[in-house]
Structure 1
Amino acid sequence: MLDELGVPLRFSHGGSAFHSRNFRPPRYFLGKKRALFLHRDPIDTTISGYFQVTKREAWRNLFNGSVSEFIRDDKLGIVRTLRFNSMWLDAASNNEAVLVTTYESLHSDPMSELRKIANWFGVSVSNEQLEKAVVAGRFDTMKAQEATGGYEESYHHRLRPANPDDPDSFKVRKGVVGGYREYLTEDDIAFCKERILQNRA
């Protein structure tokens, strides 16, 4: 959606790599330019990571267990997600050049959130441009584009299914807020929420 609006950004996972326990500190990425940090429910993020590792990057053989085992893995699971989020949220709280937005707010009110982000980067956008960007960012639109190779020229492997016959190998997989409930047991969810509370303490 931001590309559609002409917001000049370089997209990054902030130095995080699934095969590493370590993160590059935010100062590595934060210079004199403005930055945007996209925060998402850490449980949803961790489930997305599970499919990234087991479907999209299966060739790396980073993890072969169940989703329940994945969330409990210190190297790849919920603790890792929380550690990464805390690092960036701490950096943002002390840096006026960092804007924080959330995946959930982009779902609930995409027009307002996109306008705020565009304005933050000095890009003026019209309602018509915002409406077009929201349509481009709809799940069904993006799913179809990924399936037919519509993103190949711009995004290459980053928005290419690992296996076109496996919906879980798509980068645009479900796009649901709270979708983790489809994959986790009550015990799994309780485990994640306990870790979230511990992280806030």
Structure 2
Amino acid sequence: MKKIIQKNLPKLYLKLLIYNQTINWKKRNLKLTEIEFNNLKLIRKFSRQHVLLCGYPKSGNTWLRFFLAHYSILQQETVASTITYSELNEIQNLILERPFNRKKYSRKSNSLIDKIVWTHAPFKSDYSKFISKYLLIYRNPLDTLASSWNYHVKNRNNLKRIGYPKNDINAYVKLRYVDWEKYMVSYSQLDEHQVLAVSYEELLKEPVGSFKKILSFSYPNHNCDLDKLKKAIELSSFNSVKTMGRIKDQQHGMAAANKGEFARKGIIGSYKNELTEDTIDYIKNKVEKNSIITSLNIKYE
């Protein structure tokens, strides 16, 4: 009996953590931070009409930021090579979790990229008092969470420092699914005309049509230049960003603590080589039980 209990302890512990994650999610995630509140006050003060680019970490946020930055630059000048991660943060610098540069923000800008504010945060009801349009990028949870484990745990040499469940990719994916699901559901409370939800898989399979839809939503008064759109897609492609990172010694992306490459695989279905069948079935069953998530038409390959 003692051996049976010891064998099942990790599974029981994981269930308890998932339960706690579920009941404490709102308390941890849905209140404005002081930085967010101050940034949103600036938006109101200067009556800016922003689009909030949002997405769970490792869903393609950075890819979309690269595209929007490149397309914006191409309106004024030619771009020969992919901008660096550092340049991206300078160009698309309105990040909700970081203090806005008040002096810079006060100057009116006609640059397309300055209409974009970015966040990894779930939707908070107070956002709607300041921002009316939301561009949500999402990716199937299996690839998202497997990629998250590689980036936040494996590539930061955290395996030796932390214990179960985070050092086990399968347990990590099951535990973090609660966050992913709640994140996606949080944005479902917005009216349909307020949010454009675009999947990572759709962007990979039909880039021109998908990115054109994004531009139409984000900049309704802008006439899309198809040649510049295609150039921005080329400059922002997975291979272009990965090559830039290696040439510029910025493989770590925006996180110096990361020992691996930020741009890891960039494909659909890589989870199949990383997760067990039990984990894959567990997540797919969870997805099927949530009508809001199933309405997103999640693609696993």
The TM-score bracket by the shorter chain reads 0.7 to 0.9
1:110 maps to what in 2? Answer: 207
The 5 A counterparts of 1:1-201 are 1-6=67-72, 7-8=112-113, 9-13=116-120, 15=121, 25-30=123-128, 31-58=130-157, 64-73=166-175, 77-88=176-187, 90-92=188-190, 94-122=191-219, 123-149=222-248, 158=254, 162-163=258-259, 169-200=260-291
- 1:179 partner letter: S
Give structure 2 stretches of 5+ with no counterpart. 1-66, 73-111, 293-301
Q: Which moved more, 1:50-59 or 1:102-111?
A: 50-59
- 2:125 partner letter: R
TM-score using structure 2 length: 0.53
TM-score using structure 1 length: 0.76
- Look up the SS of the partner of 2:254 in the other structure: helix
CA contact (8 A) 1:39 1:102 kept: yes
- Whole-Å Cα distance in 2 between the matches of residues 161 and 146 of structure 1? 15
- 1:187 partner letter: D
- Whole-Å Cα distance in 2 between the matches of residues 140 and 146 of structure 1? 10
Deviations 1:4-46 (A, max 9, x none): 1114222211x2xxxxxxx5x4334343342200011111111
CA contact (8 A) 1:146 1:160 kept: no
Deviations 1:126-152 (A, max 9, x none): 121111111112211111112233769
* Pair 40,28 (structure 1): closer, same or farther in 2 beyond 3 Å: farther
- 1:162 partner letter: N
- 1:10 partner letter: V
CA contact (8 A) 2:177 2:283 kept: yes
- Look up the SS of the partner of 1:158 in the other structure: coil
- Give, in angstroms, the shift of residue 174 of structure 1: 0.7
CA contact (8 A) 1:5 1:125 kept: no
* Pair 78,65 (structure 1): closer, same or farther in 2 beyond 3 Å: same
CA contact (8 A) 1:160 1:170 kept: no
- When the two chains are superposed, the root-mean-square deviation of aligned CA atoms in Å is 2.7
Give structure 1 stretches of 5+ with no counterpart. 16-22, 164-168
CA contact (8 A) 1:104 1:177 kept: yes
- 1:112 partner letter: G
- Whole-Å Cα distance in 2 between the matches of residues 35 and 151 of structure 1? 29
Q: Highest CA radius of gyration, 1 or 2?
A: 2
Identity of aligned residues (%): 20
- Give, in angstroms, the shift of residue 200 of structure 1: 3.0
How many residues matched? Answer: 179
- Give, in angstroms, the shift of residue 190 of structure 1: 0.8
